Amino acid sequence: MHPSSILALFVSLAVTGPGLHVVDVGQGAALIAVGSEGDAVVVDSGPPAGGELLLRALLEHDLDRRGVAAWIHTHFDADHIGGLSRALAGVDGRAYTHDDLEVGLFWDRGFEAAPPSTEAFERYRVVTQGRRARAEAGARIVAPGLVVEVLELAPPPVDADENRRGLALCLEVGGLRALVPGDLPRAEVELAAQACGPVDVLWVSHHGAADGSSAAVLEHARPRLAVLSAGADNAHCHPDPKTLAILRNAGTDLSGPELGVWILDGAGLGPGQACPVVAPALDGLRGGWVGGDLWIAPGDEASAGDPQLWLGGPGGWARANPKSASQ
């Protein structure tokens, strides 16, 4: 797997819906789902340091003018909620001014179980006060070319950690289906994959950590594309070689579609080579390592149903083969 699997020519492209914009926020996660008429649902908001990057992605879809239909946070870890306050403040970076982003509603896992005592959560509580609600299982957001459903999972135990208390979402964007399970552990992701059914895109749980994936997840979801958001400077050595092995084996052990795997940064992949154990585990994967954003659009006849993939970079967007052989 190597960036050389990407087409070298970048083009100026205004990406329009329907599609999924996976934002490279570093060590964290953020996703913008855009419907056929431009309505958008945002999932998570990355770490505090990723707020500017997320805002740039939102502006690309004209969401400073249109507003965001709904913003859903899967759980309250700082790398999933930390960028919200900066993104909401708009271009001037100041809250409660004329250019603040408008959001129709905020959903989260609820405050019934004690949220984490962190600065990131306190900022989240303040900026969403009076505008947020608990996302109930089965709740749906529907807009032209866009459906988001909160999946029903087993109630977490009283002593569950923050990851296990999170939400799992099933998305449909112009015929493109995706499973987004936040940082849930594998048992919960398996339930979510069963509930959502076969998808085109699997957002790999917990940034590719060993506790978030299993062969059963892939058997239920049968994705054509798997996406991991890790961050080149993450201290957890994500993605874990065990997860990469599960993804690699999906192309040979299962009877489903061949799987393309795309990683947004990742320990051991950047210049620092922080976790040298990760890079060798990429051998044999089909896909690529992305130092930027991803735009995933529904497949068509020309792509034989495979999702269409564009890679974001300093010069614009480049078209990529979703299943390029690793190099």
| 227 close to 201: Cβ distance less than 8 angstroms | yes
3: pLDDT strictly greater than 60: no
pLDDT band, very low/low/confident/very high, at 280 (cuts 50, 70, 90) = confident
pLDDT per position as a tens digit, 218-244? 999 999 999 998 877 667 777 888 998
Report angle CA 181, 292, 19 to the nearest 5 degrees.
55
pLDDT of residue 233: 66
Least confident of 48-57, 58-67, 83-92, 260-269: 260-269
323: pLDDT strictly greater than 70: no
User: Does residue 3 lie in a domain region?
Assistant: no
pLDDT per position as a tens digit, 75-88? 999 999 999 999 99
pLDDT of residue 292: 86
Q: Which residue type does 160 have?
A: A
C-alpha to C-alpha distance for 257 and 317, rounded to whole angstroms: 26
User: Does residue 296 lie in a domain region?
Assistant: yes
User: Does residue 38 lie in a domain region?
Assistant: yes
List the domain range (segments joined by +) for residue 149.
17-320
Q: Is the peptide bond before 18 cis (omega within 30 degrees of 0)?
A: yes
User: Does residue 168 lie in a domain region?
Assistant: yes
CA 222 from centroid of its chain's CA atoms: 17
User: Does residue 5 lie in a domain region?
Assistant: no
pLDDT per position as a tens digit, 8-60? 333 445 567 799 999 999 889 999 999 999 999 999 999 999 999 999 999 99
Q: What is the mean pLDDT of residues 165-172?
A: 98
pLDDT band, very low/low/confident/very high, at 327 (cuts 50, 70, 90) = very low
Domains in the chain, number: 1
Looking at the chain, the whole-number percentage of residues with pLDDT higher than 70 is 86
CA 46 from centroid of its chain's CA atoms: 10
pLDDT band, very low/low/confident/very high, at 213 (cuts 50, 70, 90) = very high
C-alpha to C-alpha distance for 34 and 19, rounded to whole angstroms: 5
User: Does residue 283 lie in a domain region?
Assistant: yes
| Average pLDDT of the residues of the chain | 86
DSSP run (H or E) holding 215: helix 215-221
| 207 close to 233: Cβ distance less than 8 angstroms | no
User: Does residue 326 lie in a domain region?
Assistant: no
Q: Which residue type does 85 have?
A: S
User: Does residue 6 lie in a domain region?
Assistant: no
Least confident of 62-66, 95-99, 160-164, 264-268: 264-268
| 227 close to 294: Cβ distance less than 8 angstroms | yes
Give the three-class secondary structure for 228. Answer: strand
What is the CATH classification number for the domain harbouring 196?
3.60.15.10
Six-digit token string for 93 = 């970076």
250: pLDDT strictly greater than 50: yes
Nearest residue to 35 via CA among 176, 182, 228: 176
C-alpha to C-alpha distance for 6 and 96, rounded to whole angstroms: 41
